[in-house]
Amino acid sequence: MTLTVAIQMDHIRSIKIAGDTGFALLLEAQRRGHRVFHYTPDRLSLRDGAVTAMAEPIEARDVEGDHFTLGETERVDLSTVDVVLMRQDPPFDLAYITATHFLERIHPKTLVVNDPTHVRNAPEKIFVTLFPHLMPPTLISRDKAEIEEFRREHGEVVMKPLYGHGGASVFKIGREDPNFGSLYDLFAATFREPWVIQRFLPRVTEGDKRIILIDGEAAGAVNRVPAANDIRSNMVRGGAAKPTDLSPREREICETIGPELKRMGLILVGIDVIDGNLTEINVTAPTGLRAIKRLGGPDLSVKVWDVIESKIGRA
């Protein structure tokens, strides 16, 4: 089966290929003989009902600094391709949301991964609250009195922006922390949305596990251990990737949420688990595939493409 694939991503010249999941998916598509186009979200257009992108055919190589060659730009009608991989990084802002509106015009005739309607309707730090019994105590609010009451009840908390990503602006606040007032003022001036406040999990120092689910099933994991004197485990913030297996509790979490992810057409999902507590469900552009493979785990891009091809074969 030879497919035509379009990958919507941040420009390939800007990515770090050692950890980029979109790049891993691109390499596997190419290995299977699929024809792949590359375009950035700003080159997506909707005209007279047709969704098009100014895109280039791409050849990728797993060579840092010499990892791609682009062909001549052409206008591609995305309803004529088989698959669109929506792989640009957040922020999950109105530009991101607009792209989901465009792409849902062509899905499922063109398979969009992940389903753009459910990407839009599953913001990662809100979607996870559908499963409160799997989470640490969590408040989403910008009301100071509510936040103060939550802090009195739970003591140390983590405060972060609702639509943040990559570990940016994540703060640990103590029960009597004198910085809370200033931090509240800073958040209020910076973010219009509510914020996420969660009970602090001290065992985050042992790692924040990224578990990859493919079509609703746990497929692999990497444990991200924070750097010294930091609570953020994101690898872009200095977290160290370590091999890991799933605990019974983590398998329970995956088995609980997996059927809903599958129903929603969320083929590639990355969840974050700290000390047996589900903290986020990442559906926009989850990462972790290359780290899992580098640490001796399976090449999950193979399984992702097996699922994509099976869905197209049944269409």
Which positions are catalytic? 125, 160, 210, 224, 232, 272, 280, 282
Measured between alpha carbons, how far is 246 from 137 in angstroms, rounded to an integer? 22
Q: List, in order, residues 6 or more apart from 80 with CB less than 8 Å away.
A: 4, 110
Measured between alpha carbons, how far is 141 from 70 in angstroms, rounded to an integer? 45
Q: Are residues 18 and 62 in contact, defined by beta-carbon separation less than 8 angstroms?
A: no
Quote the DSSP letter at residue 51. Answer: E
Q: Which amino acid is at 73?
A: T
Q: Are residues 35 and 4 in contact, defined by beta-carbon separation less than 8 angstroms?
A: yes
Measured between alpha carbons, how far is 127 from 119 in angstroms, rounded to an integer? 10
209: enclosing H helix or E strand: strand 208-214
Alpha carbon distance, N-terminus to C-terminus of the chain: 13
Q: How many Cβ atoms from other residues are within 10 Å of residue 134's Cβ?
A: 19
Q: Are residues 200 and 150 in contact, defined by beta-carbon separation less than 8 angstroms?
A: no
Q: Of 315, 156, 292, 154, give the one whose Cα is nearest residue 221.
A: 292
